[in-house]
Amino acid sequence: MIKNKLLIIAAILVTFLFNSKLNAQDLKGDELKSMEKYSGVKGDNGIVAPDLRLSADQMKWWQDAKFGMFIHWGLYSILGQGEWAMFNNKIPAEEYAKLATKFNPQHFDAAVWAKIAKDAGMKYMVLTSRHHDGFALWDSPSSNAHFNSFETAAHRDFVKEYTDACRKAGLGVGIYYSPMDWRFPAYFKPKELPENALLLKKQTYGQVEELMKNYGKIDVLWYDGGWLAHNGKDADAAWLWNPVELNRMVRSYQPNVVINPRSGWEGDFQCNEGPSKVSGPIINTPWEKCLSLNHSWGYTPNQTIMTTKDVLTMLVNTVDRGGNMLLNVGPDAQGVIPEKQVTVLKEVGDWLKKYGESIYGTQPGPFEPKDDYYGAVQKGNLIYIHLLKNTSELQLPPIKGKIVSCKQMLGANLKFKQTTKGITISLKQLQFDPSISTLVLNIR
């Protein structure tokens, strides 16, 4: 007992000392493996079951939305070492469970989170209703050992408060759920411990059903961590989870919910996880870049966060390639999103207030993006170009339509020349925007 406590304290101290140097790229071991599984959009993400896929019409709101808020929040926020603290520090489940007696956030107000998301120009939110540590943020009768916020210190159903606030703010309601649960030994030895594995599976089915049945219309279901014993792909674990059956159940309650690819079924969109740069050509399938503003997903007291320009560059690089971006914040144990994160989000929102027209509801093209130079999107007879480099002239490939005007968004008209060989735009009149300069071409 005392040894375990000492171990936890030592682990907290060590992590605290190294926190300031941590960077998402510096993740180690299984936590890193977990991120690498989803870095880069891959086409091999799971079992195919076409009847489960949403139609293009059903996906439209999500593809138009472009920008969402990811929230990693749970018991681990108390430890301040990110959401993998339990596993990384080998904290025994019984020890870790004691954190639930301390989890009683006094400043949690879902309406405040929703407002921060709205002010940032985000259109949907995704909350970790239950991460790999197994602690559920709602009144969850299926939770093994009553490990949930309703039956412990807080006595609150945070999922209810969150889904209500999200909907009230007009944001898409997204729920993250991790089928895996480190508390079950069978997660690491599923074949050797079949009874325990079935218990784990039962919990997953029960909890997913609760989430899909009891909280009104859910717009996004974001699974994470189907891979057993941190090995292979999520689809390799399909023999246990049976993701097609699981998602048929989900669809019976939520026929329109947009589902990510991490249950072992291929899902409605592809994922690209982590801070790596978005580059290359347009991707012609719905996809989402998810990454964290801070160096870790879950709360850490030392915040090494992205700059506003980094966030905007990531956003336009994603949107110009046809993707959405889900940007994570990590509220502290009291439910407060750190001030530094709010400041960056606010600045991102200020840019989107001015230039959002070149983001929301757009389609990538007609020009393929050129890494570190420009990317483009289109809407009706307008083409928007996001400039990533300060140059005096922009060269673009030819297009069929005739350009009738070319200007900087909210700025001056720009001289251009269009021939069958291509387009040249003079940027001499451009007021270079320190974030991203955006041009708009009107085509007939």
Q: Smallest distance from the beta carbon of 174 to ligand GLC, in angstroms?
A: 12
31 binds ligand GLC (CB under 6 A): yes
CB nearer ligand GLC, residue 4 or residue 39 = 39
Binding mask 322-361 for ligand GLC (x = CB under 6 A): ----------------------------------------
Buried b (16+ CB within 10 A) or exposed e, 94-116: ebbbebbeebebeebebebbbeb
Piece of the chain touching ligand GLC by CB under 6 A; list 27-35, 164-172, 187-195, 391-399? 27-35
- Write down the residue that tokens 């939770």 correspond to: 143
Contact assessment for residue 152 and residue 373, using Cβ atoms and an 8 Å cutoff? no
Rule CB under 6 A: choose which of 110, 126, 127, 290 binds ligand GLC: 290
Count of residues of this chain found to bind ligand GLC when the rule CB under 6 A is applied: 10
CB nearer ligand GLC, residue 210 or residue 273 = 273
CB nearer ligand GLC, residue 34 or residue 318 = 34
Piece of the chain touching ligand GLC by CB under 6 A; list 28-36, 159-167, 363-371, 378-386? 28-36
Q: How far, in Å, are 31, 224, 313, 408 from residue 355 at the CA level?
A: 36, 33, 13, 11
Q: Which 64-93 positions form the footprint of ligand GLC (CB under 6 A)?
A: 72, 83-84
CB nearer ligand GLC, residue 30 or residue 350 = 30
Q: Smallest distance from the beta carbon of 334 to ligand GLC, in angstroms?
A: 21
**CA-only gyration radius of the chain, Å:** 23
CA dihedral 265, 269, 271, 272 (to 10 degrees): 150
Tokens for 254? Answer: 């939520």
Q: Which 296-325 positions form the footprint of ligand GLC (CB under 6 A)?
A: 297
Which residue, judged by CB position, is nearest to ligand GLC in the bound state? 34
Residue (of 175, 150, 156, 164) closest to 254 by Cα position: 175
Rule CB under 6 A: choose which of 22, 35, 278, 282 binds ligand GLC: 35
Buried b (16+ CB within 10 A) or exposed e, 385-404: bbbbeeeeebebeebeeebe
Q: Smallest distance from the beta carbon of 368 to ligand GLC, in angstroms?
A: 28
* CA 278 to centroid of chain Cα atoms: 15
Binding mask 97-116 for ligand GLC (x = CB under 6 A): --------------------
Q: Which 171-230 positions form the footprint of ligand GLC (CB under 6 A)?
A: 224
**Strand (E) positions, 64-117?**
67-71
Q: Smallest distance from the beta carbon of 167 to ligand GLC, in angstroms?
A: 23
Piece of the chain touching ligand GLC by CB under 6 A; list 31-39, 100-108, 134-142, 242-250? 31-39
Tokens for 19? Answer: 């926190």
Contact assessment for residue 70 and residue 260, using Cβ atoms and an 8 Å cutoff? no
Rule CB under 6 A: choose which of 19, 34, 260, 324 binds ligand GLC: 34
What gap in Å lies between CA 203 and CA 208, rounded to an integer?
8
What gap in Å lies between CA 266 and CA 226, rounded to an integer?
12
Tokens for 63? Answer: 């593809």
237 binds ligand GLC (CB under 6 A): no
163 binds ligand GLC (CB under 6 A): no
Q: How far, in Å, are 193, 195, 202, 265, 414 from residue 235 at the CA level?
A: 20, 21, 18, 7, 51
Piece of the chain touching ligand GLC by CB under 6 A; list 30-38, 237-245, 299-307, 374-382? 30-38
3-state secondary structure (DSSP) of residue 385? strand
Site of interaction with ligand GLC (CB under 6 A): 31, 34-35, 72, 83-84, 224, 273, 290, 297
